[in-house]
Amino acid sequence: MLTRVWGVEPGYTSPVAVETTHIPDPAAGPESVRVAAAGDVHANEEIRDELMAAFAAIDREADVILLAGDLTTHGEPEQAAVLAEACRGLETPTVAVLGNHDVHAGRAAEVVEVLVDGGIRVLDGATTVCAGVGIAGAKGFVGGFRGTHLPDFGEPSLRALYAETTGEVEALDRGLREIALCPYRVVLLHYAPTWETLEGEPREIWTFLGTDRLQAPIVEHRPDLVLHGHAHAGRFRSDVDGIPVFNVSVPVMGRDFWVFELTGSALPSTPIR
């Protein structure tokens, strides 16, 4: 269903600026960090050269590279090896979550092993900290949006699906608690937490492209930035309760990576009367 387009336009010179709640400390070094992001890279042997070139070009252009799932075309370890090779030796740390394509072959554990061997940190309901950026990463799952939710009712298979999404929501909540004290906090997902970045995809399949159940921990913990992929025909930019959400699927961006610059913004002082 999802056709991959590898964007070639370099766009590293005009990052999207994201103001954060971080209070800058001049003594603590740089006041901003650059996050490069891409989803739905869909590595395989045929695009080896483009992939190598794209990752070589983004290296050192950002403080961290985030990959929002669908790292491979069909979840074969050989495909993951192509991405691992592109990332091996990069100076910029790379962090990824898996997508549905990466679990398709039933070999997700091997895929993760290959990626880790290439130096990629794979988060499956877990967290990591790179360059002061706390990252809570999970694949997420399906479930729909207000008015179209899959119910927790009836057949065991349907209820198991609901429970699997519950597990993703709980993992995201735990992750955001773990990184609560990081200066910058980013959520990395494959599935969409809002329908607003799905606009462009057929409305009939939105329930299978994500769920607003993922919004609960986002609204509670208020990370600085939320990134997802999966919806190749969706929309780039939206928000959840004012928190910026970007669909960084490569076909949506029309380029290899997008760079987000997270900048500390001193909170305004309370006027004293």
**Residue ranges in contact with Mn ion by CB under 5 A:** 70, 99-100, 230
CB of 230 closer than 8 Å to CB of 70? yes
Amino acid type, 48: R
State which residue, 99 or 125, has the beta carbon closest to Mn ion. 99
Residue closest to Mn ion (Cβ): 230
State which residue, 94 or 100, has the beta carbon closest to Mn ion. 100
Beta-carbon contacts of residue 108 (< 8 Å; ≥ 6 apart) = 75, 98, 102
Q: How far is the CB of 70 from Mn ion (least distance, A)?
A: 4
Q: How far is the CB of 58 from Mn ion (least distance, A)?
A: 21
Strands (E), 110-242: 120-122, 126-130, 133-137, 184-188, 225-228, 237-240
Q: Is 257 helix (H, G, I), strand (E, B) or coil?
A: coil
State which residue, 40 or 173, has the beta carbon closest to Mn ion. 40
Type and span of the H or E element at 68: strand 64-68
Residue appearing with tokens 């290296």: 59
Cα distances (angstroms) measured from residue 137 to each of 40, 46, 97, 134, 173: 15, 28, 6, 10, 10
Type and span of the H or E element at 161: helix 156-178
Q: How far is the CB of 99 from Mn ion (least distance, A)?
A: 4
Q: Is 56 helix (H, G, I), strand (E, B) or coil?
A: helix
Backbone angles phi, psi at 117, to 5 degrees: -65, -25
State which residue, 71 or 133, has the beta carbon closest to Mn ion. 71
Q: Is 152 helix (H, G, I), strand (E, B) or coil?
A: coil
State which residue, 90 or 103, has the beta carbon closest to Mn ion. 103
For the record, the structure tokens of 31 come out as 């006041």
Q: How far is the CB of 50 from Mn ion (least distance, A)?
A: 19
CA Rg value for the chain: 18
State which residue, 18 or 189, has the beta carbon closest to Mn ion. 189
Q: How far is the CB of 122 from Mn ion (least distance, A)?
A: 16
Q: How far is the CB of 230 from Mn ion (least distance, A)?
A: 4
State which residue, 184 or 191, has the beta carbon closest to Mn ion. 191
State which residue, 99 or 144, has the beta carbon closest to Mn ion. 99
Q: How far is the CB of 190 from Mn ion (least distance, A)?
A: 6
Residue appearing with tokens 């009712």: 153
Q: How far is the CB of 131 from Mn ion (least distance, A)?
A: 27
Pairing between β-strand 133-137 and β-strand 16-20 as defined by DSSP bridges: unpaired
Pairwise CA distance, residues 17 & 136, whole Å: 20
